Structure 1
Amino acid sequence: MALTHNFSVQYDRRHTDSQMYSLYPEDVLPMHLAETNFQTAQPIMDALASRVNQGMFGYVAESAELGLAVQHWMASRFELPIEPEWAQYSPSVGSSLVFAVQAFTQPGDRVLIQTPVYHAFHSLIDNSGRMKAENKLILRNGRYEIDFEDLERQLSNPRTKLMLLCNPHNPVGRCWTKEELTRMAELCLRHHVFVVSDEVHADLVYEAFTHIPLPAISEEIAQHCMVTVNPSKTFNLAGMRSSAAIIPNERRREAFRVALINNKAIDRPVFGMVALEAAYRHGGYYVDQLVPYIEENAKLVGEFLREHIPQLELIQPEATYLLWLDARKLGLPPDQLAPYFLREAKVAFRDGASCGNGEGFLRMSIGFPRAVLEQALHQMKQAVSKLDLN
């Protein structure tokens, strides 16, 4: 019997240890965080319950199970063959990026990012003693594109040693095409810049698009890159602190492992490992049902904004449950956009400025049951109606 999941069920997570619901008063809908409000997949809960029944939770031995589970997922979902030993444990994708900066660059080196991008990309470079370089994405006809001329200029700087790629891209929702990835890979290879590809949202690509893992572009770039994956976004498992860094090149893999050891990040969490393995072994059905639900949520937002709040424009997403909203026509100062919606709509957004190159934009999570999303939209409509838009 095929498993099904009901994503419309609403859960009361207030007065729990939920970070999402702890930052704002009870009357606020928290749509600022990259986390869904869906219960995780049943096989994951069953595996965790079975582990609890053992009653002993000592140090977890390193084993091949993590690599085998990641190998299964990458092959079954993305047709990417990897060897189990390529997958290195890491507490999170964010941690993997920090360790990669330590492993593959030196203080004073330049680390390149494409903005606007997930805010942690900025802070991890700013706090590392490295210099941040930006390849600003171009918004053209409602869609973000790569400025390849500037990208090569940034990569050709001899101090640029590392590029942090976000694919699919958070927050602009692009699923980079094979042609775009190939061109980026060729430029990085030409200028000897190692690439770390954050692919944490890879599972959440909409029907008309296809996620291509960076190593699939060529064997040459596979040996010159690292890919970070994590079931956290897909299965609502961020608190489990388990992810994997896929590194085909043995020398690079060992350098990354040294960074893990130096940061005392090598020990694997009991429940995190159980959850990751169950997700990647048995969670395919959940993703197959989650993605259409998320895509319908995105369509709902787009239609509602066009009809009721045309001054708030949705940048059409190709992936993820994070939407990028162009709020510049509302006439509010950029630094007042998020505070205005928090105060007047009781909806919390992430300020686009925190992503760099995103002033006047808002990031909105739609990983919610549809009824909650509809409530948020109506509250947003009421808030905008109070503005003088003449």
Structure 2
Amino acid sequence: MIYNFDEVIDRYHTESSKWDNVGVRVGNGDALPMWVADTDFPCAVPIVDAVKKRAEHPLFGYSYVVPDFFRVTKAWVARRYNWEIESEWIVYATGIVPVFNTMIQAFTDLGDEVIIQRPVYHPIAHAIEDNNRVISDNKLIYRNGQYSIDFEDLEKRASSEKAKIMIISSPHNPVGRVWTKEELTKIAEICLKHHVILISDEIHGDLILFGNKHYSVAALDEKYAQITVTCYAPSKTFNIAGLRASGIVVPNPDIRDGLQKQFARNRSIQQNVFALPAYIAAYTECDDYLEQLIPYLEDNIRFLTQYIHTNMPKIKVVPQEGMFLTWLDCTEMGIVGDELADFFIHEAGVAINRGDMFSPDAHNFVRINIGCPRSTLQKGLDLIRHTYSKKFD
């Protein structure tokens, strides 16, 4: 099937957080939404058909995790990530963020440390702080427009007797890095050495761009699998985040048992009745959608990079290896924090995510969502350029 990602679909009045709630969440209800991490592309037809078929039955009572969930997750992981997993390793979750919170509750105590790598997806930090644990920030190194891992600092943090969990974002949201096999191996070896459980958020793992390759860290060696909780979901890949379904792979039976028992204690394991039909369709019938989506995203990034380079040279596009979220370095603009956010959101009228959501140190960055039709992307860039020209040209 051929998909038209250039099609502009009106999302207003659909209870869309991105579009209908932009005023509450970002501060300007008239701003063009280029913020929260869902795309403006229609779902693949088999997913829509699966939901419609389920909706034709007039009863929407409680559902359960059917065997096909395990079968299709196992097949997808084997096909996409070259990792042969067992069905019993797979745990259903309504999302990856609940896994962060549940793992922290199950495997740490008050005052324990959880290692993260800022700037990083902000609900990771919230999960630590909301559960009264301590953030141990293995800050990424930003040098010459590129991000890398400070392994010397990571070793020190992992060696702390209070360090119990490390959470990685792979590919890394928001900086766009796709970690190499060598980088992931170093992370896993450090966690293994110091008995630190590794949670690998791989929700963007299907969206790998420009010839890069995604590796599931647990697939690199059986010994890494035994300390790792790997989080997969079709939500970003196929734009079905609102349906709430994730597959969590936990080979170690003790860690898996702890996760499941804490889920049960939290009463947080019931699923949306439409989630599993969509999940199963995504992982069995929608490869053609993904094959067409990747080059479209690549072209959007090329377009954005060239546009900004030509028209707004004080903004630098951090090289993007994966995802549909682009990290912009605005240091040369000379404005930060509230002033920088105001430039984009209120003056230009484009809703972005401010960088200091992801790290207190990232007040000179913003994250912009390029998962939209090319015309929408150009509209947003034109709005930014108009304001930029008045200030800097």
User: Structure 1 length normalisation: TM-score?
Assistant: 0.97
Deviation at 1:268? 2.3
Match of 1:359 among 360, 363, 369: 363
* Structure 1 residue 359: Cα displacement: 1.8
CA distance in 2, matches of 1:5, 1:349: 27
Greater mean deviation of Cα atoms: 319-328 or 70-79: 70-79
1:40 to 43, 50, 54: 43
> Which residue of structure 1 aligns with residue 34 of structure 2?
31
What amino acid does structure 2 have at the position aligned with 1:139? Answer: Y
What secondary structure is seen at the aligned counterpart in 2 of 1:115? coil
Deviates more, 1:53-62 or 1:141-150: 53-62
Q: d(CA) in 2 for partners of 1:197 and 1:61?
A: 26
1:55-66 to 2 correspondences below 5 Å: 55-66=58-69
CA contact (8 A) 2:336 2:363 kept: no
Residue number among 68, 82, 88 corresponding to 1:79 in the alignment? 82
Could you tell me which residue of structure 2 aligns to residue 237 of structure 1? 240
Task: Give how far 1:76 is off.
Answer: 1.3
Structure 2 counterpart of 1:275, which letter?
A: A
Partner of 1:17: 15
Percent identical across equivalent pairs?
A: 39
Q: How far does residue 332 in structure 1 lie from its aligned partner after superposition?
A: 1.4
| Structure 1: tracts of 5 or more residues without a match | none
- Mapped to 1, the partners of 2:191 and 2:115 lie a distance apart of 11
Task: Give SS of 2:289's match.
Answer: helix
Q: What are the within-5 Å matches in structure 2 for residues 342-353 of structure 1? A: 342-353=345-356
Matches of 1:303 and 1:15, distance apart in 2: 34
Residue by residue over 1:140-163, the C-alpha shift from the partner in whole angstroms, topping out at 9 and shown as x without a partner, is 221100011111011111100000
Q: Is the 8 A contact 1:325 1:361 kept in 2?
A: yes
Distance 2:128 2:236 in 1: 23
- Alignment correspondent of 1:173: 176
- What is the alpha-carbon distance in structure 2 between the residues aligned to residue 170 and residue 44 of structure 1? 26
Partner of 1:370: 374
Query: Deviation digits for residues 253-283 of structure 1, max 9, x if unmatched?
Result: 1110011111111222210111111111112
Greater mean alpha carbon deviation, residues 157-166 or residues 101-110: 101-110
Q: 2: distance between equivalents of 1:57 and 1:85?
A: 28
Counterparts of 1:40-119 in structure 2, within 5 Å, are 40-119=43-122
Q: Which runs of 5+ in 2 are unaligned?
A: none
- Check whether the contact 2:138–2:157 (CA below 8 A) recurs between aligned residues: yes
Q: Does 1:252 align with 2:250?
A: no
For residues 40 and 133 of structure 1, what CA distance do their matches in structure 2 show?
Answer: 38
Partner SS state of residue 163, structure 1 = strand
TM-score, with normalisation over the residues of structure 2?
A: 0.96
1:331 to 321, 334, 337: 334
Instruction: Look up the SS of the partner of 2:117 in the other structure.
Output: strand
Q: CA RMSD in A?
A: 1.2
1:61 shift after superposition: 2.5
Tell me how far apart the structure 2 counterparts of residues 255 and 26 of structure 1 sit (CA, whole Å).
43
Alignment counterpart, residue 127 of structure 1, candidates 125, 130, 148: 130
The 8 Å contact of residues 65 and 276 in structure 2, kept in 1 or not, is answered as no
Q: Which amino acid aligns with 2:389?
A: S
Equivalence for 1:316:
319
Runs of 4+ in 1 over 6 A off after TM superposition: none
